[in-house]
Structure formats: C-alpha cells, structure tokens
Structure 1
Amino acid sequence: MPLVGFGLWKVTKSSCADTVYDAIKAGYRLFDGAGDYGNEKEAGEGVRRAIQDGLVKREDLFITSKLWNTFHAHDHVKSLSKKQLDLWGIDYFDLFLVHFPIALKFVDPAHRYPPEWFGDDGKVHLQNTPMQETWGAMEELVDEGRAKNIGLSNCNGSLILDVLRYARIQPSVLQVELHPYLTQQPLVNLTKTLGIAITAYSSFGPQGYFELDMDKNAPSLLSHDTINAIATKHKKTTAQVVLRWATQRGIAVIPKSNHVERLAQNLSCSSFDLEEEELKTISALNINLRLNDPADIDPRLAIFA
C-alpha cells in the first residue's frame, strides 16, 4: 500500500472521473473510496480511462473501498461488495474496510443508494448484527478473490482486540481520523504492536469540515503559527508538513485536492524529513479534537465514548 494516496470523500460526481484521471497522471496510485461517498462509478470511469490511455495497469493501482453500515449482515456484505466492484468496473479491491463498527437496518440499494445514516422517516435504525458475522463475511471476500486485504475503520482498541479473538484473517489496515489535533498515539502504538498498518483520514484536521459547518470552531492547522514556522524553515507548504508528520512515522495519508499543483505537492510530501523535535512539537498540538463522531448524529452511536 502506498504511503500517500488520494481520498475520494466529497469529490463531486460531476468532476470525479476527471479528478481521478488527473491524480493518476500526477503519480497517485492509491485511491481511497467508499460506498457511502456515492462516486464509485465515476471514480471507476477515471481509472478505466487511465488504463485505456496506457497511464497505468490495474495492478499498478491500490484501490480501497468500504462497506457501509446498512450492509453488515453476512449476505449483504457479499452482495454489496459485488455491487461496489461493478460500480468501479474492477474484479477486486486491494483493500476493503468495514466503514464503521455500527450495524444499521438494511436498506435495499434498489430503493436508495447510498443509504446514508437514516431511514425513510429520517431516523437512525440500529440492527443487531455482531461484528463477528460481518468479519466472517469479509474473510470470505478474500477467499473468493474479491478483496486482497480486509480491514477496519473508525474502531477503537477494545474492538480491534475483540476482532482478533475470532479472526481467521487478521485486519491488514485500520483507518481512523488522525491529525495533529487528534494524535491517537495509544491507538497508533497498539496497531504497530499488532502489525496492523494505519491510514489517517482528515489529515488537515478541520480543513475538510469548514464547508460542512462541522469544524467545531477549531482553528485551521494549515495556517497555525507552529506549522507555518516549520514549513517556512523547510521551504515547504503547511499541508506538506502536516502530511510528513504522519508519513515519517509510517502512517499512510489520503488527502484530496482539486488543484493539480496541490495534488503534486501532497504526493511529494515524503521528499523531506522533519527533525525529531519538530515531530514532537507538532504532536504537542493534540487537543483530542474528534471531528467525525457518529454520536453527533445519535447518542446510541457513541462508538468512541
């Protein structure tokens, strides 16, 4: 799995195919998608065009997707993974993740897809599907060649340890919100000890949440005095510094940008090294600020409580 990839969250359908194509042209090989993002078909079109034009072969790419909460039952894992592969127009995912450790009532994709968090009545409907059932079906995807690797997302340590008690195939990757305002160091230490790779999303902290009015009034990391000073010293952008803070410690990142110049800058974030003291200084910005918390939707979804 490449250390720097391209995240497809909030990439609009109308521009997604071109964005993916441009990202491949810029050198990106890891693409992080999800059924919930609603743009898998368009992302697949960008991939297909890049392959047709000879920019890459399928095996050059590392494509990640995620199983949504309404499809945790065994048979739904199987059928929805097939649907998602068909949307992408590919035969297998390099990595398939359980998006959240939350099982919601099934919504027929023919009725609404992606189903998001709510039923037709606008309410959250939980479903009693244990993670053991979901994980067993995920393992079958590996057996059948639909997924090369499987993993978890938005899970805390206790749940990871529980999955390992019954897992026939260990989670390869854990994807979580991780940035200088939410360093999650104990979780990072645990995954390292267990041999599970970690991918950070929302690497720029509140940056991706401003337009959603979900930034919780947190100041921008990309204009923070501490980050600015380090960026100036290294003659790099603040975004490159924040990304390097993660990648230098072996944490994969999946930033997104609609600007070709920033695409290239983000991809080259591993072209320099931060000093150990600078890494510590950035980590000291931690305020345990979690921006993506399902408990904000419904208190019964407090998976990080």
Structure 2
Amino acid sequence: MIKKHIYILATGGTIAGRAASEEATTGYEAGAIGVADLLAAVPEIRRYAEVEGEQIAAIDSKDMREVIWLRLAARCNALLSREDVDGIVITHGTDTMEETAYFLHLTVHSEKPIVLTGAMRPATAMSADGPMNLLQAVRVAADDEAAGKGVLIVLNGTIESARDAVKTHTTSLDTFRSPEMGALGSVQDGEPVFYRSPLRRHTVHSAFSVKGVTALPRVAILYAHADDDGFLVAAAQKAGCQGIVYAGMGNGSIPERVETALAEAAAEGIAVVRSTRSAAGRVTRAEASYEANGFIASDTLNPAKARVLLQLALLKTSDTASIRTMFSIY
C-alpha cells in the first residue's frame, strides 16, 4: 500500500515543552523541542505515512500572533496545492489552538485534511500525552474519510471540528470538547472513525482569503460582569478597534449601560457581535433593541471564535447585514 505524504508544521507549545523534571507538568519551557525530535520520539508514525517536518514557530501558544496565523495559512495553501502532499498536521499549544484551527478552517482552500494536535503535559513528563496525540493526528490526516471535513483537532482520542471545539479544562488531558455539537469521531486503537461532517461553510467553500494580507482588523473581546457600566467600550474605540465582541450573559444579554455604549459604537461604524460567557448554547437575536442597534448574534461561536470570524468578515465588508449573514453560514 502506498503511504500518504503528511507534512508536519510545528509551532511549539506544550507538546514540545521541556521541564526540569519528569514529574513537572507546569513551569516548563514551551516550544523548546524541535520538530525533528518530536518525530524521532514517535517512530511508529512512519508505519502509516511518509512524513516531513518544518518549524514554523517555537512559542507558547498564549503568545500566538496574527503574523503566525497568516504564515500558517499561506504555507498550508501552498503545501496542499502540491500533488505530492496529502495532508498536514500542525503541532500547537492548546491555549489558542481552537482559534488557530478556526482561522485556518476559514482561510485554507483545500479539501485535503489539516489536523491540529498538541499536549497537556510537556514532552519530558512521565506519561506525556504528546506522542500518542501526534501519532493519532497523523493517522487521521492520512485517512480518506478526513478529506472535505475542514480543519480538525485531534487530542486524547477524539476528532473535533475546528468550528466547534473548545478547550474546556485547565489541565485535564481530555480538555477539548464540542459542547454544543459533539465530536466528529474518535480514534480507537489507532483507527479513526467518523460519525458526522460539519455543515457550516469552510475551506473550499469559504469566501475568505488572506493572500497578500499583512494585518487583520483590530477586534476586541469585552467580558460581561455584574455592575458593568461599559467603560471598556470607550477604551476599545480609543484603541482603534473596528469590531467588538461582547461576551454577554446567558443568551448574549447586555447590561443597559453597556448596551448604550455599544449602540454609540455601532452608530460610529464599529461592528458589534453578541456572544456569551456561558459554556454552551446558541446566541440568538433576542431583544428588539439589539436588532435596532445593529448588533450581530454569534450563533454557537464562543467569543474567541466570533472574534476570528469578525476579523475576516471586516476584511471584506463593514456592512452589518452582510456580516450577520456570514455569522449564519460559517
């Protein structure tokens, strides 16, 4: 059987972390181990695919920046346009993995698989989870059924869609879940099994392109709390934000004083998206005043992913109705 050619793009993270002792699972140096050593630690990978590695970055993913997103999107598009590349695995820290995955889900135009994986324990830890996660990610990327499903996240034996997956626990190995929609599939004894496909637009059906883009529109996330008077809205305006995602209460509810401030921002041309600080659930249109003020409901996107979609939307338009449509189809 001819093995598929899977390209490994490394960005650092805990999966490449080095700690002072085998017992340490915090306080390590993220991104300290290069892609060649990561692959050498999992020789079983070469039983299932021909792999080639490339170091894109070596960071703790809390320090992820849009310049790396843009570099990753360009590299993925270039690699997947080659006939000799069948898929990509990206090693990445878990803190911002869901955002990077969703960004690529919307900006890479290929049906070939892209799988993000990482670890919750550094590579030097006793019972490190990175090697198994990397092996499973390669096996998913090399699986025929993974094609056309957009960007995937594979950790701890689950296969999640980039749109739906969120990091749900600070330290648990089973941290990535899709609270609203559930996993796409799982990896059992090395065999990927899929049960559903994402229906929202992505990859080859996405209208978003970052080719030639050097900077994304500035979008702030503001977090609701009791006695919120909206003073951070003015700070976002002063900082030159083109958009604001408000992580509201419950169904994207906005305190009265904050709503007044956001309405003023929207009247000045700043796009305002209502998301939620709740762990799950869909944000709907709700109050008539929200619609009158031009606020956009985030649907099931959490604040971080709503920010990603709004940034890309603002590259194309500032029209509220058009952006609202994007939030209903992506």
Q: TM-score, normalised by structure 2?
A: 0.25
Q: TM-score, normalised by structure 1?
A: 0.27
Q: Which has the larger share of strand?
A: 2
Higher relative contact order (CA 8 A, sep 6+): 1
Q: Which has the larger share of helix?
A: 1
